[in-house]
Structure 1
């Protein structure tokens, strides 16, 4: 175990943000408590934080991402076959299916071509475990049956062919805009006869057995859907970002740069000479290229995860992991006698994996931002979560750690966004963003925007736009764009 001062220095190294502000709050409210991290430590932490985010990581991201011809690249850069974003003028009725877990949704979305939301009706259906783990035919028959029930409820003729956008949030090898084979099941699914098969064809066959006339015109994942949903309201949107339980990004790339298409798409087909790339950014670093930026807590979290040495970048960013990173830091401090008098280490409060959620982190950050007595409220929050009688200094340290973990997450996201902004090199860009962490965390958006601005030197006019329901509305917009391009056959 590291000794006390080494422990603090080690976990501050790569983490740090509003250190001095929180230290001042701590000093005002924690008089009489045991010694807290000093101003000199806060100053050093801030310096280490700045030094950590030098441009070396910027260069590493740039080098790692844009490797279209290398099948062994950890950042897969998958072609989505989406050839354009929305212009906000698409209109009509579109069905959407969103399948990615134990529940799935059927949606009917009406667009009026005016760049406004239009109408959306949807129903959520369960996917029982016996269907998740049964046969693929039974699974897709269930989806088709629910689609049939939805159409009857919405008084839609099952004989009227409506365009359908399909969000299928499992790893796929996409072969075309409406063709993708399942690489592997995740999230507890194991339905037989699906891996290696075209999931769009399986859905189409199931609908045919149910006598439903549908035309699946586009298959997307939630990240691509997020960008498309945003683009309907803002035509400048050409980047999508998910920062929730997981993390990912996509963007519009010039067609001539995507060598892995291997002739599947002609640059002379009359369509826009670009395509959306699904980065699968969470895997950045799986080859060890960013190990210098990982702390002992990152390594411990990774070792205890269900997928060691996988999704390295995601584990430093996403909502699934940030609370656990905070917990690991707090445990180390408590074991060193610097926090909670060591009493919380063996209890269920912070002693067990997963016992400090990212929701708690977001609440702590909200209290620091909005409350007149943040440490008092943080103390009540910690008490409600099993940490008995935390001192004011304990609460200040918890706030400090939450702040640093949050800022590192937003800054790493900013590095990725700045890299993509440089890549596409457009003067004005809207970035469509969705995800529970982005929406629930009180300062994430501001931290992200500030760091992107700093990294790009103000060269680009960008804005972050909340793009909700990319997996639903985004799928419908994907279908609408596909219909528009198929009918027009001209460049956007």
Structure 2
């Protein structure tokens, strides 16, 4: 029976409530000075103390580095016309990605200079926000030390260094532009800032894409790690790094055989276990493993595996496509994808089974995300909260947002209102807004 195979993925409402309580405990460990070193959910202060209030004005630059494409953006803010944005994408050649740190930052400085001259703004002194999507230890708003390279980068002489200092040194070597990086941030913070500019109830930012993470605005008196000035505003955005929730074993009671297989075969074994149950990097592979079990027990495809025997062949975009058949009365997408998997003979019953597997994996991911979001909402405890959300899973999965809204409504405090808001270009616009807020506070 297919029901017996997917049953471990179908969790009770009480279980999601328990997961929320466990996350709250893990967050408390991360915020405590004594337990933070051993905490898996690190709760890192971002040094972003204030959100946009709509009074930010002027021209700001933003950089977005997180892969083989590097973006430079010019963001113009005004109370009358809102946000105007221009950007240009510059490729990062492999020889730069694997060369020296000096070569990388000289390349970045060249791109900034090219962009500034192309837009004829070289006479302006422009504050800049830098979305740097690599693991960093942040020591202030403009000090972030690279912990380790990921995503194919291996530039020498950067790990352990302040990325902003390296950028400023490269800009100084050119001597043809006047730019000051006032903020370094990750994409979660950018997501929040992008929405907060439009909706002042936004205090949570969530990424639901290839990976997952969240940030939220916390009161300083709850952040024992804070060792800076406690003057107003007495708050700071916390980068939870909640993808590592469960790395201490506290979520083993809900992990299935499929989850253990995913982890066993991963490059970061034993780490990011919450992320491995939710994010787009893994959802398709979980579905594939369930299908393999069903085929091996002769419950699907007459025992024929086809391409399903190939690891990582079933992409999360296929999960979204199958889910689009929901309520259609036909299996148009499902049939096409089964054929792409090399299965030539199959029945409507096989299509129904694949749909139910995708549905079970998707619903679990959406409800786990929701339980974690409710934990953050309860910490903030305001009558109206907007949650900024970005990422391919939230954007493109046809039912993810709907399941999240329904689950949060059931779990959240009665009488409190919430809204999920799609963040538009947090890594670009959000970075400029962090710079704009820092500039506003500095000049007040």
Say yes or no: TM over 0.5: yes
Correspondent of 2:335 among 374, 379, 392: 379
Gaps of 5+ in 1: 17-48
Report the Cα distance in structure 2 between the residues aligned to 1:427 and 1:285, rounded to whole angstroms: 30
- What is the RMSD of the two structures over their aligned residues, measured on CA atoms? 1.4
Give the C-alpha shift of residue 382 in structure 1: 1.6
SS at match of 1:300: helix
Equivalent position of 2:315 in the other structure:
357
Work out the CA distance in 1 between the residues paired with 2:333 and 2:279: 25
- Aligned residue runs from structure 1 range 222-301, under 5 A: 222-261=187-226, 263=227, 265-268=228-231, 271-301=232-262
Task: Confirm or deny that 1:168 pairs with 2:129.
Answer: no
Per-residue CA distance 1:255-310 (angstroms, 9 max, x = gap) = 1111112x2x2112xx3110000011101011111000100000001111111111
Determine if the alignment matches structure 1 residue 221 to structure 2 residue 216: no
Return the alpha-carbon distance in structure 2 between the equivalents of residues 358 and 181 of structure 1: 33
> Are the equivalent residues in 1 in contact too, given 2:5–2:290 (CA < 8 A)?
no
- 2:25 partner SS: helix
Mapped partners of 2:75, 2:139: distance in 1: 26
Native 8 Å contact 1:240 1:433 kept in 2 = yes
1:94 aligns with 2:52: no
Cα distance in structure 1, aligned partners of 2:261 and 2:252? 13
**Please, which of 3, 6, 11 is the counterpart of residue 6 of structure 2?**
11
What is the distance in 2 between the residues matched to 1:332 and 1:101? 35
Residue 85 of structure 1 is aligned with which of 35, 48, 51? 51
Aligned length: 439
Aligned to 1:196: 160
**1:436 counterpart (392, 395, 398):** 392
Contact 1:379 1:389 in 2 (8 A): no
Question: 4+ residue stretches of structure 1 with deviation over 3 A?
Answer: none
Alpha-carbon distance between aligned partners in 1 of 2:168 and 2:332, rounded to the nearest angstrom: 57
1:106 is matched with 72
Q: State the distance in 2 between where 1:202 and 1:376 align.
A: 52
> TM-score, structure 2 length as denominator?
0.96
CA deviations 1:150-207 (Å, max 9, x no partner) are 11111111x4210100000000010101111111111111101101100001001101
Output one character per residue of 1:418-455: Cα deviation in whole Å (capped at 9) or x when no partner.
Answer: 00011111111110000000000011111111111111
Structure 1 residues 341 and 383 mapped into 2: Cα distance closer, same or farther (>3 Å)? same
2:92 aligned partner: 127
TM-score normalized by the length of structure 1:
0.87
Counterpart in 2 of 1:470?
Answer: 426
TM-superposition CA deviations, 1:379-430 (whole Å, max 9, x none): 1332134222221000000000101100000000011100001111111111
**In the alignment, which residue of structure 2 is the partner of 1:419?**
375
Q: Distance in 2 between matches of 1:76 and 1:279?
A: 6
- Given that 1:170 and 1:186 are in contact with CA atoms closer than 8 Å, whether structure 2 keeps it comes out as yes
Partner Cα separation in structure 2 for residue 218 and residue 376 of structure 1: 48
SS of residue matched to 1:291: coil
SS at match of 1:322: helix
Match of 1:309 in 2: 270
Kindly state the Cα deviation for residue 66 of structure 1 after the two structures are TM-superposed: 2.4
SS at match of 1:249: strand
